[in-house]
Chain A
Amino acid sequence: MTLTLTNIAKTFPGGTKGLLPTDLEIAKGEILSLLGPSGCGKSTLLRIIAGLETPDAGARIVFDGEDVTQQSVETRKIGMVFQSYALFPNMSVRGNIGYGLKIQGLPKADIDRRVNEVIALCRLTDYADRAITVLSGGQRQRVALARAMAPRPRVLLLDEPLSALDAALRGQLRDELRLLLRQFGITAIFVTHDQDEAMAIADRVAVMSLGEVAQIGTPEALYRNPATGFVARFVGDAMPLPGRIEGDQLHLQGGVLNLPEPADGKEVLVRAEDIRIDPTGPITARVEAVTFLGTHYRIALAGATEGPLFALHSGLSAAKPGENLRLSIAAESLLILPKGGTT
């Protein structure tokens, strides 16, 4: 199903703008992630698509050519996975998964067949007749997905589906969720504040900030060509290099960097992996702390800029805290972006 959103905005009672007018187009079978910090409007947008929240006048939500803006959540034929899963404690796993089909009034044989299919696909066969209360977090997450998928919804909406799980499980379920969504072949929108999660699961990511979409694109495009400093910081943890810009030169506390183009009035950022330890480099810095992370060291540096700076270093040994180093940054790896955006 293709999904077309036009002029979706939300003003909360009291006048707060939760969401500024937003247009989005989601292709059939595409998985789109709404990524952003809390309060950026991503959940509001998802709830408006679901029909759980009413947008301001003038909005249009179109599912495959059908205008559903005035339809209630019950009639939109969506599937939704909630952050807290919202599983019904008074029903078994099977009861939860079959509930949507029961509402549709399907014959019992059809319900059973469809429920068994989804249970097998989500690897829940061993738990089918258990109570919800005895399941682990990961199992509950799969039941929530199975329940949303069983009635064959037109679009699947997921609201922070992994955030209730602990870190180790989250990583594992992230890959599992991606595989399952691809297997179902469904158009899906999922909300997250975790950039790794968005990059791993989504075909396209819409980075949101202060109630609007800051940039939308494939994970790779966002990483390589962020449109604003906010996107660069949020996707790939770019660090700002605060200093005085004079044409194509950036004067930092620890030295002068040559820029690929004049950058007056703009902001210069760099990623940790693009900072090189180079005895002939133009910038001096002092090592503050070194963290060993297995494949590489993460070195905290002071004195190069006003704020802290981190560099990644792979090799068999790293500098010691207190040592002075010289750094270089290749001109083409610097991100020169318009100022503005948050954090």
Chain B
Amino acid sequence: MKSLTRSIPMVVTLLACAFLFIPIMQSVLAGLTVNYFRGLSSGLTLKWVGQVWQLYSSSIFLSIWLALACLVVTLILGVPAAYALARNPGRASRILEELISLPLAIPGLAIALALLQLYGSYHGFRTHWSFILIGHVLYTLPFMVRSTLSVLATIDLTTLEEGAASLGAGPLRRFFDIVVPNALPGILAGALTVVTLSIGEFNLTWMLHTPYLKTLPVGLADSYASMRLEVASAYTLVFFVIIVPLLMAMQWASARAQRNMQ
């Protein structure tokens, strides 16, 4: 009886995993077989992966570039914003925090349309990568702010700063010597979230992209639409290789930030 109560959840878990894993494995295999319709008997090859690299390497680099630029911008905007919110708790701060978080609740499509309406006519800007960057920053900024804020909220920031001020440290030194180092676990968790989300973002980017500015997920959609299935599947494999380590690092950093708060 006891073994039954223990084994049922295990079986359910394994089934759920299988439900998720089998399509992924199939896709990965499809990207590695010579001819998907003839199956594995046609043999394994890296030809399709090579083709993906040839056709879409610019998308890969654009995505990495966008993610890093997005990270820099969210760091510059998000960390001071979180600090200001932590130092001035109150109604106004709560409202501001909700406002920053708004892009999470609004579909990327709507944000993209708004951006296009407002800036679409500035041609140089419309076709520049920084146009997509704006969308990514809007979407990822709340993650940076919240992650940093949650760590700052557990620190007696006012007293620590008073301590530093009594030793002669001005506001800027206090920010870089005391606030940033003590918020680091939250900043790190936020940074990994921002990079992962930016690389994987599709909705908004698909609306904002131009034929010369295709990011990694937009390229993926493009390959499924216009290439043979083996190439598209190989693309999925490449996507996985980039995103899975990032996801794992993100998990690790969040767990570390959580530990730090206790």
Contact = CB atoms under 8 A, between A and B. Distances in A.
Contact of A88 (B164, B165, B166, B168): B164
Interface stretch (A96-104, A243-251, A310-318): A96-104
Contact of A103 (B167, B182, B184): B167
Contacts of A79: 166
A84 B164 contact: no
Nearest to A150: B167
A74 B165 contact: yes
Contacts of A147: 167
B226 interface: no
A86 B156 contact: yes
A74 B168 contact: yes
A174 to B, nearest CB: 22
Contacts of B168: 74-75, 77, 100, 103-104, 151
A242 to B, nearest CB: 44
Nearest to B170: A74
B3 interface: no
B254 to A, nearest CB: 20
A119 interface: no
Given A75-B168, A151-B168, A86 B163 contact: yes
A122 interface: no
Given A99-B167, A151-B168, A86 B162 contact: yes
Contacts of A78: 166
A73 B162 contact: yes
Contacts of B169: 74, 99, 103
Interface size range on A against B: 20 to 34
Interface in A50-104: 50, 52, 72-75, 77-80, 82, 84, 86-90, 99-100, 103-104
A84 B182 CA distance: 17
A216 interface: no
A99 B162 CA distance: 13
B160 interface: yes
Nearest to A85: B163
Nearest to B184: A90
A57 B168 CA distance: 25
A72 B162 CA distance: 11
Contacts of B166: 50, 52, 73, 78-80, 148
Contacts of A90: 178, 181-182, 184
A99 B167 CA distance: 7
B228 interface: no
Interface in B17-66: none
Contacts of B170: 74
A84 B165 contact: no
Nearest to A52: B162
A72 B160 CA distance: 17
Contacts of B160: 86, 88
Contact of A89 (B164, B165, B177, B182): B182
A88 B178 contact: yes
A82 B158 CA distance: 12
Contact of B164 (A77, A99, A104, A151): A99
A84 B158 CA distance: 12
Contacts of A75: 168
A87 B163 contact: yes
B128 interface: no
Interface in B168-190: 168-170, 173, 177-178, 181-182, 184
A163 to B, nearest CB: 14
Nearest to B161: A86
A93 to B, nearest CB: 14
B159 interface: yes
B167 A86 contact: no
Contacts of B177: 88, 99
Contacts of A84: 156, 159
A133 to B, nearest CB: 11
Nearest to B178: A88
A294 to B, nearest CB: 39
Nearest to B168: A103
Nearest to A47: B162
B241 to A, nearest CB: 35
Identify which of B165, B167, B168 gathers the most chain A CB atoms within 10 Å of its CB. B167
A100 to B, nearest CB: 4
A82 B163 contact: yes
A88 B178 CA distance: 7
Contacts of A99: 164, 167, 169, 177
Given A73-B165, A82-B162, 16 more contacts: A73-B162, A74-B168, A74-B169, A78-B166, A80-B162, A82-B163, A86-B156, A88-B160, A88-B163, A88-B178, A90-B181, A90-B184, A99-B164, A100-B167, A100-B168, A104-B168
12 contacts: A72-B165, A82-B159, A82-B162, A82-B163, A84-B159, A86-B159, A88-B177, A89-B155, A90-B178, A100-B167, A100-B168, A103-B168
List the 7 closest pairs (A to B, CB-CB), nearest first.
A86-B163, A100-B167, A90-B181, A80-B166, A103-B168, A86-B159, A73-B165
